[in-house]
Structure 1
Amino acid sequence: MIKLFVSGFPLEITELELAKLIAIHGDIVTLKIVRDKKTRICKGYAFIEMASQAGAENTVTALDGLEMQDRKLTVKISEEKAVAPKSNFKRPVAGENAKRPRRPRV
């Protein structure tokens, strides 16, 4: 799956309207318009996962720079950051239980 970053669309747009705009260029796996947690007002950008690289590239080519209601649409392929492998190391919990056990003296 390829993740796209989309911004510059009208703030009143719904997920369905955005999906209709993008789906003609490739298959959408997920679509998430980012909204304020308290007010639920759109922040002006969204993340979309496309099923294929070709669909993502077609979307970028077709929609990047498109004018929508006096706003300029920006569509980019999102660069994935490398995820560090998880370690089995567990930090000690603060308090008396966090002390290391002492080795017996010989």
Structure 2
Amino acid sequence: MVKLFVGGLADNIQEMDLAIFVSLHGKIETIKVVRDRATGKCKGYAFIEVASLADANNIISMLNGEGFKGNIITVKLCEESAPKKVFKPKSAQPHKGKRPRMQR
């Protein structure tokens, strides 16, 4: 599957409205509108997974820069980010696990 980023969405967008708009140009597998947890309003972007790269390219070419619900939207391929490396400083003393038991 190919993941697309859709930006520039209105804050009152519904998943079904976006799905209908995009599905005219390619087969959608999943759709996720990113929302604010407190208000439930759209943060202005969504992620869509489509079946093939051909569908993704067709959606991008047809919808990028087009108007949707009064806003100009941006549609592009999601960049797969590499896993982030976690910085672990070397400590002066290695971690020994559990505390030693007290002798009686």
Q: TM-score, normalised by structure 2?
A: 0.76
Distance in 2 (CA, whole Å) between partners of 1:3 and 1:46 is 10
Return the offset for 1:24.
1.2
1:62 matched to 2:89: no
Q: 1:61 to 1:96 in 2, by over 3 A?
A: closer
Runs of 5+ consecutive residues of structure 2 not aligned to the other structure: 85-94
Which residue of structure 1 lines up, in the alignment, with residue 73 of structure 2?
Answer: 73
Q: TM-score, normalised by structure 1?
A: 0.75
- Percentage of matched positions with identical amino acids: 44
Which residue of structure 1 lines up, in the alignment, with residue 24 of structure 2?
Answer: 24
Which residue of structure 1 lines up, in the alignment, with residue 89 of structure 2?
Answer: none
Distance in 1 (CA, whole Å) between partners of 2:55 and 2:41 is 29
Give the match's secondary structure for 2:34: strand
Amino acid at match of 1:12: N
Runs of 5+ consecutive residues of structure 1 not aligned to the other structure: 85-93, 100-106
**RMSD between aligned alpha carbons?**
2.1
Distance in 1 (CA, whole Å) between partners of 2:70 and 2:14 is 17
